[in-house]
Amino acid sequence: MTFAGQQHADALISRLGVQVDPDLLILALTHRSFAYEAGGLPTNERLEFLGDSVLGVVVTDRLYHAHPDLPEGELAKMRAACVSQRALAEVARQIELGPCILLGKGERTTGGHDKDSILCDAFEAVLGAIYLTHGIEVSREVVLRLVGPSLEAAAQSGVALDWKTSLQEACAERGLGSPVYDVVGEGPDHARRFTATVLVGGEPCGSGTGTAKKHAEQEAASQAYAAVTASP
């Protein structure tokens, strides 16, 4: 890591409030575009996978205990809001994660340091690195400190918490059957992009794109929800 890069990493550690194994931190910040251009270095995707699970467990546990009277469906919506790409990207911006991420030239020139998808993935990877360094209890403290405001906001929000669940409920109420998602992935592994189309009653009703299938599906579901609920 260069001197400037080390400065960014040190500042990030200070904002996180915990030490992180240096090698794991570098790995957490290595986007696949950088790894590809560097000749096939390991990427942060495995740590992202781990961090996503750690985040899910901590958030689910907190919601379960904080809202004992809410049904499973409402808890699922609140969790979806807290761990959405947009919400996690905002947390990443608050801790100034963007400048620390190692990106390939193409991503750098197109503003990759401030893309929701890249910020979200890197944040989850950093959580994975924290978990491997300290275990679940320290990870829990970090997650609740950083994601806590989203948990509070989720308690005040409505259908936008989880468009797929909201669309499913709206279709059921109108006797339209279950929505069906058709997802197509395009591009090389280091720049994969997904396009989702949602069918309601066999007809296309919304579409969305994203670097992950779940994000493309949520965008498609939000369009379909607006169309379905606008119908008399």
Residues annotated in the binding site for Mg(2+), as ranges?
48, 121, 124
Nearest to 200 by CA among 229, 232, 226, 171: 171
For the annotated binding site, the residues are: 48, 121, 124
Choice among 52, 162, 217, 219 that is catalytic = 52
Cα 168 to chain centroid distance, Å, stands at 21
Longest dimension (CA), the chain: 62
Q: Is residue 42 within 8 Å of 27, Cβ to Cβ?
A: yes
CA atoms within 13 Å, Cβ hemisphere of 108: 10
Q: Is residue 221 within 8 Å of 179, Cβ to Cβ?
A: yes
Choice among 107, 124, 162, 219 that is catalytic = 124
Is 74 a known active-site residue? Answer: no
Degrees, nearest 5: CA angle 46-17-12? 65
Q: Is residue 13 within 8 Å of 19, Cβ to Cβ?
A: yes
Distance CA(28)–CA(203), nearest Å, equals 41
DSSP one-letter string for 11-49 = HHHHHHTS---HHHHHHHTB-HHHHHHTTS---SHHHHH
Is 203 a known active-site residue? Answer: no
Q: What is the DSSP letter of 104?
A: -
Q: What is the side-by-side strand order in the sheet with 193-200?
A: 180-186, 193-200, 203-210
Active site residues: 52, 124
